[in-house]
Structure 1
Amino acid sequence: MTLVEQFAARRCTTPEELAGEQTRSLDALAVGEGSTVVGFEGDDVVVRRLFDLGFVPGVEVLRLRRAPLGDPIMFRVGGSEIVLRKAQAQLVKVARHE
């Protein structure tokens, strides 16, 4: 699958699709918990930036730590450590590892 095809398929299109996979937002992960990215919700500009940072459907993500007040949050994605604001992390939908 090409990068263009991956980006075109990045978004979970319906609430039913999200509910069917029992997804939750990335910010809901506990510290040390891993999961798999399944899609995005929200503004295309922000979604494209998250995609460029490595939050691609199918990739594993691990929540490393959070700031004392809960924002921002640090994640490990594909060998990189990335810090996101809570509002950005809420746009990434994840499902448990199978």
Structure 2
Amino acid sequence: MTMIRMDIDQAQQTIDTMRRTMEEFNAQLSALGGSVDGLLGAWEGNAQIQFNNTWQDWRSRFTTSINELQPMITGLTTERQQIIDADSSSSFM
């Protein structure tokens, strides 16, 4: 039987880092959005339309990438807890 090893502390540090990174990315995206809104207000015509379309596409892809961190955080959190639970239950034997 294959033994699974996980450094519980390192897993928690990774989870915490991923959560902080998600929060930082969201804050930076919000700040960038404010700057872009100001820029778009200064443009007219095709330049504004093209830039806005490109911005919306980029923002959507970036948001998707940020949101894809959540299932990884959830999965790692679950695995970490399962290892802790399995270790606790095996210590009673």
Q: What band does the TM-score fall into relative to the shorter chain? A: under 0.3
Higher relative contact order (CA 8 A, sep 6+): 2
Higher helix share: 2
- Whose radius of gyration is greater, 1 or 2? 2
TM-score, normalised via structure 2 length? 0.23
